[in-house]
Each structure stands twice: as C-alpha cells, then as structure tokens.
Amino acid sequence: MTASTTGAQRFREFKMPDVGEGLTEAEILKWYVQPGDTVTDGQVICEVETAKAAVELPIPYDGVVHALHFDEGVTVDVGTAIIAVDTDPGAGPAPESAAPVVDATAAPAGEEADAEPQGRQAVLVGYGAAPASTKRRARKPQPGAPAGVQTGVQTGVPAQPEPVNAMLQAELNGRPAAAAPVAPVAPAPQDGRPLAKPPVRKLAKDLGIDLATIAPTGPGGIITREDVHAAAAPAPSVAVAPAPAAVAPAEAGVVDTAARERRVPVKGVRKATAQAMVNSAFTAPHVTEFITVDVTRTMKLVQQLKQDPDMAGVRVNPLLLVAKALLVAIKRHPEVNAAWDEANQEIVYKDYINLGIAAATPRGLIVPNIKDAGVKTLPQLAAELGELVSTAREGKTSPAAMSGGTVTITNVGVFGVDTGTPILNPGESAILAFGAVKLQPWVHKGKVKARQVTTLALSFDHRLVDGELGSKLLADVAAILEHPKRLITWG
C-alpha cells in the first residue's frame, strides 16, 4: 500500500456478521486480541455467543488492531462494527482525521451516535481517554493555569473536591468526619458531551438522569453504572442528633428476601430455548404416550458391542440402540417424519431423517442433529453421536448443526428419572424421551424375575400424527428394544 493511501482505505471496520439462521445479535464472550496486536487474514479475533451456540469469528484481512469497540459481555447487533484494523501500519502514525468511527448502530436504541471528536482516539465504546497503558499526546494547559498543572487531565473533568478527600482521610484515621458539602456538578468536557459507555447512557436515559449532572468516578473520568444509580437514588438525610437513633425492630413475621435473590439476564441459548419452547407448546397440539418395556436383551447387546472390533474407537451405550430403534421404526411408519407448513397450509413429508439429540450444556439446552441418520450404519451412527455430544458440551456446536431436524431423542434417564412429557422442537413432528433403566420385578416366561426395565414417552404433533400412527411408532420402538434382533429383521 502506497503512502498516498487514504485513511478510509487504511482503517477497516469489521462488523458483527450473521453467523447463520438469520440471527440478529450476538454477545461478545472473549477477545483474543487487543489494540496493537498484529492480525492476519483468517485469524480468530473473538468468540461470540448467538442464540444457538458459541462461535469464533475470524478477521478477513491483515493489519494491526486499532481499537475494540465493545467490552466482553456486551450484546451487539448484527452489522455493528466491533473492531477497527489498521491495514497499513507501516505508513506511520495514524492521522487523527483517519481514526475509525464506531457505527451508528453501536449506540443504544433511541440515541444518536456522535462523530468522533478531533484529537481523541476511539476507545472500547464511546469516546474519551484511552486506558492508562496507551500512549497519548499531552493536552495543552488551559489559559490561566499554573505552569506544569493541567486541569481535567485527559478528560476535561476536574479532580475530586478537596472536602471529599479530607472526609475520606478523617474516616481512615478513625476520627469522625464532618458532613461533606454537596458535591458540585461536574462540568461537561470541552466537546460538550460527558464520557460514558453506550449501556450507561441508555441506563441514564431510562432513569431520567442528565449525565452532565453526574460526577464521574470511573478511570479517565468515565461515568459508570454505579454513578448513574447513585445519582438516581434519593439523597440520604444527615442525622444531627448527638447519638444515633435506635433502629426500630423489624415487624414480626416480615422477612426481607431481596438480599437472597439473584437476577440473571435472559440471553443467548437460554433466551432462544425459552422462545422456542413457548412457541412450540402453544402452536403444535401435543399428545404424549407412554410405554414401559423390558430392555434386558438390549442391555446385554450393548455389552457385547463394546467388545466388537467393528465398534472399536466409538462409544457404545443404550442411547445408541434407542436411536437406531427409532430410526428403524420411522422407516416402518414414514408418515411420522413430516412438518406442518402453516403459511402454505401443507404437510411436508420428508424422505430423510435428521435425528436431533437434546444436550444439556452450561449455556442451556441445545438440540443438534445428525444429518441423514437413517442411512448410517451402527458404527457411523455411534461416531457421529459421540462427536455431536462432545461438541455440544464444549459449546462449539455450529448453527447449521442445530437446523433442519425432523425428530428428536431426549435422554432424561441420565438424570435418574423414569420419563417425562417432552416438548417438541419447533418444526419437528415427534420427540422420544428415554427414561432411566432400572432393575425391577417383571413377568418373564411366566415367572417373576428381576429384569432391566425402562419407560419411553413419545410426544407428537397431533396435526401431523394421529393417535393410531403415534401408538404404532412407540410400540415398534419398544418391540425393538425388547428384542433387538428386530434391528436386523425390520431394518
């Protein structure tokens, strides 16, 4: 790149991409780079969490990181610039006029994004002083200030009033401090705009607080959320009595539980799961049927397959054979494998089976699926099932792996429960719950014996699956698990 390269060409803004399925926002979980780091085309710069999974984002060009526009933990709309990269760092120091400007979409809804003031560099969010580790040009002393003294260094906000410092020192020395005078209103910086991050500005706007009236306590004179909350709280009255007033005892039977409660924002996978379950429960008419079955022979087959050389290197467990049994049963009743098209008022019958496996992860419940599971051999199915579960637990499942499912299995038995009434994954026709396998008394060949027994529950969309069809499907799954040789005779 030549020296004549313009600032607009030199500095590139990388925007939050749509990582799939039409998602509108993502939360920045972790930055892998910092301002000043060198990056190359294809290098992963951060990890973000969408409504479906955690995804690593690569940068599409070479250069040096100029600025990160958002902190970790911030949710950003798709299309908003999140990082600025200097693609020609050898051209010399960045001209002030070429400093990248954060996209207008980075500002909270209802608040206009201002252009970056001259003489400042963009920080993580908003505008103002960079962190203390960043080199900056010293601000010129204001007229009338003593030599060597700068008022409002880097921020335009005066230092904390002396009476407050004296009050703090008195507290540290163990002496009672006199009541501090009301803190003066902090003047706005020279550009007329107080320094605060977009979420803090939105909070102040929601609370009806003028940022210009708040004295900042954050590093570099930035107004923090605590500052806004303090400004919104009513001013405490100062007691003038020589002795503190006696605290009235709490009313008998009244317990304050607020201090023992936690509130966590609903976002990411948890938010998507909640929306999907509500939509499914109140859209598709659910019917759930149950059956209890002797799976002793299936459990013996599991142990035999673990010793089979053809199954070496893959995990063999009861869930694998339940999955295979469901696939064989669907082949016998293909009408179950369908979807309801509300817009066109059509039933879409599918000649492929994308088998979903509900997986509990630290971020919430997700349902990735095995594509074309119906045509896979048992070793292939075992390998993909193991990879699917491990990837889900690591939080690395891609959005593509969670789309296009047709039926699902949820293994509630791993939690020790007998069964449940599962809710359909949106767009699917059926979901099978596999309960815990327990040793129970069972009539076997005319005698009561201890057998390994489990309970299956099948929920289905009654718009697509009639009671007869759903009952036949569940009965076939149970028959296969009772006599697993039917995997061969029926498969």
- Active-site amino acid positions: 462
d(CA 457, CA 423): 11
Please check whether residue 354 is in contact with residue 373, taking contact to mean a CB–CB distance below 8 angstroms. Answer: yes
d(CA 268, CA 113): 26
Burial of 64-96, coded b for 16+ CB within 10 Å and e otherwise, reads: bbbbbbbeeebbbebebbbbbbbbbbebeebee
Beta bridge mates, 457 = 290, 433
Residues 6+ apart with CB under 8 A from 210: 204
Cα distances from 387 to residues 76, 311, 317, 319, 342, in angstroms, run 30, 15, 14, 14, 34
Please check whether residue 83 is in contact with residue 59, taking contact to mean a CB–CB distance below 8 angstroms. Answer: yes
